[in-house]
Amino acid sequence: MNESMTDVRDRVRTIFEPDAIQRRVQQLGEEIGAYYAGRNDLLILGTLKGSFMFMADLVRHVTIPHEMDFVGAASYGKSKTSSGHVRLFYDPVTTMSSRPVLLLEDIVDTGHTLQNLVHLLQTREPASLDICTLLHKRKSHLDLEPRFVGFDAPDEFLVGYGLDYAEQYRYLPFVGSLKDG
Ligand code: IMP
Ligand code: MG
């Protein structure tokens, strides 16, 4: 059943307003441009589907030439080290070998998917691999901690700005917590 926008506002408690997100994303883009300054072979790799909106806003503020692609990963194991527990439903065609790769995540929760994905991407032998996440719940222990973090997030189920609950709410321009009931 479809919900009207008014119903959505009743169901979702706003945590990060659109203006705050846009300001932080601009800062991150500028930091990333400065960090990779002098390189023109940067690849920004967004995780599907959650990072699509973050990617679109961020790249407008990355002031150096770069390429972009996406990666779609589904994790079906909880191993912290194995690369055998992640299945790619979209495997980027772009070459990663010998170039700096920045992996864009929407949110780090348990970190299981990211941990497995990082191990898999390392086998592609990028010159460097770093992580930028919009939101970090700070409860995971990753081998590779994100170099760039948008916001520390509460340990609640968040939706909007790309994040979904059962494929709903991705289109919202803000991030909020889904209310119970
Ligand atoms: P993780 O492996 O637990 O860190 O999370 C894997 C994926 O689940 C993330 O990349 C998100 O796409 C999704 N996810 C985790 N936490 C949330 C949340 O609070 N809201 C919506 N999606 C989430
Ligand atoms: Mg999801």
pLDDT by residue, tens only, the chain of 181 residues: 566 777 888 899 999 999 999 999 999 999 999 999 999 899 999 999 999 999 999 999 999 999 999 999 987 655 444 445 789 999 999 999 999 999 999 999 999 899 999 999 999 999 999 999 999 999 988 999 999 999 999 999 999 999 999 999 999 999 999 998 6
Phi, psi of 125 (to 5 degrees): 55, 55
- What is the token pair recorded at 106? 């929407």
Please tell me the number of the ligand nearest to residue 113's CA: 1
What is the side-by-side strand order in the sheet with 66-75? Answer: 86-90, 66-75, 42-47, 100-108, 128-136, 148-152
Q: Provide the residue type at 107 as one letter.
A: I
* Residue of the CA atom closest to atom 20 of ligand 1: 158
- What is the best residue among 106, 112, 151, 157 to mutate for testing ligand 1's pocket, by most ligand atoms within 8 Å of CB? 106
pTM recorded for the entire structure: 0.93
Q: How far apart are CA 49 and CA 59, in angstroms?
A: 16
Dmax over CA atoms of the chain, in Å, equals 51
Q: How many residues does the chain have?
A: 181
92 lines ligand 1 (CB under 6 A): no
